[in-house]
């Protein structure tokens, strides 16, 4: 009788976990299914892991088995809830490398709190029910054997086989499409996905050990074919000048020129554009590493990784980053940012990339009046940075990372310059206010550069690091953009961020070529008259033959003519869906991601000189 109780409590626990997982799929994640088989896969995919986990209970000493039942159930709840929180913020699932980003957790707190709701308590209510059932069942010492484990393990494997069979019929080569976490979760289930992600982790770790110098040849060859002739008028035009890069946190291109109830959101940038080069089809290409991925793209012209932040996972690789290259030309390099230095592992990675200085939180006077959200507000940030910049030896290569316009877009009322949007989605509504605050901060900074005599001697490059409003807010965003709905095509177009390049003595011009953050390094090196160095996947934005393409980490591709996303091909100009074959060429660009990834996983740049000398 008692034996039956524990068996029953296992069945009850498994059933609760199973149903709960399905409910969470439906409520927390966006996992659309387009036919009943896909829905069936979604329903059964938690079963294999739930049953296998229950089998594990039998491997523990008898007196621990009951406790283990609810501990394992608790782990399931924690996995589901962590993914829910991460998904609310990043619209993505957790990967192993993300878990090691613990040095960011303190700062992300604010954003996470904004993503928690009272009803989240329901995520853990089942534990009480499960504890009750587990308690009622007592174990007789002789009740359970390894046989019970085996039996359950076989049932679990059977379910896994059915699950995989169905998934394969729906999605051939599922397991090679590891970049698409939504597909993996949909078809394998959250728990199996995490196990699979762990396997991937060990595979990528092994890649470095197995790499050798011939691996880099293919990449040299590929990037050589991408070399484009330089623009004779602009090549070397900024030789010996300072470079000042300003990274605008979470700033999307749609705010440029836009008004909220008659007020321009970015009055300064709108003006500044008039005497600068302005790129209005410039896309961010970041992945899970957000700001740090944009920094990586910028300084290396390599793609960030499909899983995790390369700043965290590969900070000790060999790179040929811009600061390193410029050092040989007598440049001094520095990053300015009002957050703690270890966020995104920046202190380590900047060192690797050859930065001379990192002016981080500890260099600034920060008090309760001049900080909000993640750290120092942008206006005092620029103001205080000037003290360091004006002392810096020239020429310098410097980057300023703004912070105030960060999710959840909090602001002090005294800083409000424009009205909020009125969509009833607080995140979207606050967004223009923090964007305009940063716009003003940049205006003041440019003023200070002029006052200090640095303006005329510097190329100023202002760009957005990544999107600010995630797909979760599409309904509100549609209202803001006066659209009926946001389609996958629109989602791609919303990944545009501003890019403004101000070169002393040059007139303003809007350039509509398709481009991405990967293109900035070659552009900067050509403006400085240094030319192409090392391996880079981007092409000079000013070249007549600049490659009009932007490849995203979610494997969307934008070309001159088409937008390819979510297995669908759109006409870029009109947004109309077109024949999938039209995008065949666009899809071919995706091989670049594999090449760039293998370069990083294998740490292949350490072989570069060897390969060159062969
Ligand atoms: C943190 C800041 C924000 O220092 O750069 O990072 P994000 O969350 O945008 O990656
Ligand atoms: Mn950012």
pLDDT in tens, 348-398: 899 999 999 999 999 999 998 999 988 899 999 999 999 999 999 999 999
What is the spatial distance between Cα 123 and Cα 381, in angstroms, rounded to a whole number? 40
Distances (CA, A) of 228 to 500, 521, 523: 22, 14, 11
What is the spatial distance between Cα 580 and Cα 158, in angstroms, rounded to a whole number? 37
What is the spatial distance between Cα 599 and Cα 593, in angstroms, rounded to a whole number? 10
What is the spatial distance between Cα 359 and Cα 341, in angstroms, rounded to a whole number? 8
Could you tell me where the beta strands, DSSP code E, fall in 301-369?
332-337, 357-359
pLDDT at residue 90, rounded to an integer? 79
pLDDT at residue 177, rounded to an integer? 63
Express as a percent the part of the chain with pLDDT over 90.
72
pLDDT at residue 538, rounded to an integer? 97
Which residue, 456, 455, 468, 540, is CA-closest to 266?
468
pLDDT at residue 137, rounded to an integer? 65
| Segment among 161-165, 175-179, 304-308, 409-413 with least mean pLDDT | 175-179
Which residue, 444, 459, 410, is CA-closest to 267?
444
What is the spatial distance between Cα 298 and Cα 322, in angstroms, rounded to a whole number? 8
Ligand 1 pocket, mutate which of 250, 309, 343 (most atoms under 8 A from CB)? 343
Between residues 172 and 432, the one the model is more confident about: 432
Q: How confident is the model at residue 135 (pLDDT cuts 50, 70, 90)?
A: confident
pLDDT at residue 454, rounded to an integer? 98
Ligand 1 pocket, mutate which of 90, 92, 107 (most atoms under 8 A from CB)? 107
Ligand 1 atom index nearest CA of 465: 9
Express as a percent the part of the chain with pLDDT over 70.
94
Residue 339 Cβ inside 6 Å of ligand 1? The answer reads yes
pLDDT at residue 297, rounded to an integer? 98
Catalytic residue annotation: 291
Ligand nearest to the CA of 248: 2
If you average pLDDT over every residue of the chain, what do you get? 91
Residue 245 Cβ inside 6 Å of ligand 1? The answer reads no
Residue 104 Cβ inside 6 Å of ligand 1? The answer reads no
419, two tokens = 């009205």
Q: How far is the CA of 466 from the centre of ligand 2 (A)?
A: 6
Q: How far is the CA of 402 from the centre of ligand 2 (A)?
A: 8
Specify the residue with its C-alpha closest to ligand 1, atom 6: 291
Between residues 29 and 5, the one the model is more confident about: 29
299, two tokens = 């300084």
Chain Cα centroid distance, residue 266: 25
Helices (H) and strands (E) in the chain, counts: 24, 19
Ligand 1 atom index nearest CA of 247: 5
Between residues 224 and 439, the one the model is more confident about: 439
Enumerate domains of the chain plus CATH numbers: 2-208 (no CATH), 230-539 (3.40.720.10)
CA within 13 Å, CB half, 399 = 26
Ligand 1 pocket, mutate which of 366, 403, 434, 463 (most atoms under 8 A from CB)? 403
Mean pLDDT of 520-534: 94
CB-count exposure of residue 205 (10 Å: 0-12, 13-18, 19+): exposed
The torsion angles phi and psi of 65, rounded to 5 degrees, stand at: -60, -40
What are the tens digits of pLDDT across the range 64-118? 888 888 899 999 999 999 999 989 887 889 888 777 766 665 566 667 777 889 9
Q: How far is the CA of 249 from the centre of ligand 1 (A)?
A: 8
CB-count exposure of residue 53 (10 Å: 0-12, 13-18, 19+): buried
Residue 291 Cβ inside 6 Å of ligand 1? The answer reads yes
Residue 401 Cβ inside 6 Å of ligand 1? The answer reads yes
What are the tens digits of pLDDT across the range 279-288? 999 999 999 9
Which residue, 602, 595, 606, 599, is CA-closest to 207?
602
User: What strands lie across the sheet with 509-511, from one edge to the other?
Assistant: 357-359, 332-337, 396-401, 242-248, 458-464, 499-502, 277-279, 509-511
19, two tokens = 């149903």
| 317 in Cβ contact with 603 (< 8 Å) | yes
Torsion sign across C-alpha atoms 113, 115, 119, 123: negative
Q: How far is the CA of 291 from the centre of ligand 1 (A)?
A: 5
Specify the residue with its C-alpha closest to ligand 1, atom 9: 291
Mean pLDDT of 479-502: 97
The neighbour count for residue 598, using CB atoms within 10 Å, is 17
Q: How confident is the model at residue 141 (pLDDT cuts 50, 70, 90)?
A: very low
Q: What is the dihedral of CA 590, 595, 597, 599, to 10 degrees?
A: -160
Which residue, 418, 455, 458, is CA-closest to 438?
418
The neighbour count for residue 132, using CB atoms within 10 Å, is 12
What is the spatial distance between Cα 6 and Cα 137, in angstroms, rounded to a whole number? 5
């Amino acid at each position: 009788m008692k034996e039956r109780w524990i068996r029953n409590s296992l069945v009850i626990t498994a059933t609760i976990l199973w149903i709960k997982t399905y409910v969470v799929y439906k409520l927390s994640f966006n996992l659309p299914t387009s036919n009943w088989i896909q829905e069936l896969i979604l329903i059964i995919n938690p079963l294999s892991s739930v049953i296998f986990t229950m089998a594990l209970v039998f491997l523990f000493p008898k007196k621990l088995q009951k406790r283990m039942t609810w501990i394992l159930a608790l782990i399931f709840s924690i996995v589901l809830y962590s993914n829910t929180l991460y998904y609310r913020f990043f619209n993505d699932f957790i990967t192993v490398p993300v878990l090691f980003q613990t040095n960011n957790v303190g700062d992300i707190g604010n954003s996470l709190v904004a993503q928690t709701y009272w009803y989240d308590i329901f995520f853990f209510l089942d534990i009480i029910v499960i504890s009750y059932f587990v308690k009622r069942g007592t174990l007789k010492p002789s009740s359970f054997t390894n046989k019970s484990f085996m039996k359950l393990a076989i049932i679990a494997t059977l379910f896994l086989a059915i699950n995989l069979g169905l998934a394969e019929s729906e999605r051939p080569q599922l397991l090679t499409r590891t970049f698409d976490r939504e597909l993996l979760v949909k078809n394998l289930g959250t728990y199996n996905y995490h196990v699979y992600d762990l396997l991937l982790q060990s595979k990528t770790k092994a890649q470095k050990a197995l790499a050798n110098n011939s691996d880099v040849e293919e990449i040299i060859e590929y990037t050589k074919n991408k070399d484009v002739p330089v623009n004779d008028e602009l090549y070397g035009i900024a030789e010996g000048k300072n470079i000042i890069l300003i990274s605008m946190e979470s700033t999307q291109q749609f705010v440029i020129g836009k008004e909220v109830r008659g007020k321009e959101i970015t009055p300064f940038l709108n003006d500044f554009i008039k005497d600068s080069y302005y790129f209005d089809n410039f896309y961010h290409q970041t992945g899970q590493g957000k700001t740090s991925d944009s920094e990586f793209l910028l300084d290396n012209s390599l793609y960030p990784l499909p899983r995790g932040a390369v700043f965290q996972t590969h900070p000790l690789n060999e790179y040929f980053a811009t600061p390193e290259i410029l050092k040989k030309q007598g440049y001094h390099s520095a990053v300015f940012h009002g957050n703690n230095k270890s966020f995104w592992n920046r202190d380590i990675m900047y060192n690797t990339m050859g930065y001379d200085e990192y002016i981080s939180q500890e260099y600034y006077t920060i008090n309760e009046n001049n900080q909000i959200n993640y750290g120092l507000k942008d206006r005092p940030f620029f103001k205080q940075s000037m003290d360091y910049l004006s002392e810096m030896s020239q020429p310098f290569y410097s980057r300023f990372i703004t912070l105030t316009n960060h999710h959840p877009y909090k602001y002090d009322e005294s800083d409000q310059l424009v009205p909020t949007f009125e969509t009833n989605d607080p995140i979207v509504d606050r967004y223009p206010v923090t964007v305009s605050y940063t716009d003003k901060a940049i205006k003041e900074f440019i003023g200070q550069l002029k006052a200090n005599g640095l303006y005329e001697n510097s190329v100023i490059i202002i760009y957005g690091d990544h999107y600010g409003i995630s797909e979760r807010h599409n309904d509100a965003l549609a209202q803001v953009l006066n659209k009926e709905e946001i389609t996958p095509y629109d989602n791609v177009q919303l990944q545009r961020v501003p890019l403004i390049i101000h070169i002393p003595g040059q007139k303003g011009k809007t350039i509509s070529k398709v481009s991405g953050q990967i293109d900035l390094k070659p552009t900067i090196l050509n403006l400085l008259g240094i030319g192409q160095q090392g391996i880079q996947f981007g092409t000079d934005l000013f070249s007549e033959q600049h490659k009009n393409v932007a490849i995203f980490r979610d494997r969307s591709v934008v070309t001159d003519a088409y937008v390819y996303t979510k297995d669908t091909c759109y006409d870029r100009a009109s947004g109309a869906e077109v024949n999938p074959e039209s995008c065949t060429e666009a899809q071919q660009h995706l091989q670049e991601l594999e090449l760039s990834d293998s370069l990083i996983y294998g740490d292949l740049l350490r072989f570069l000189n060897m390969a060159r000398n062969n």
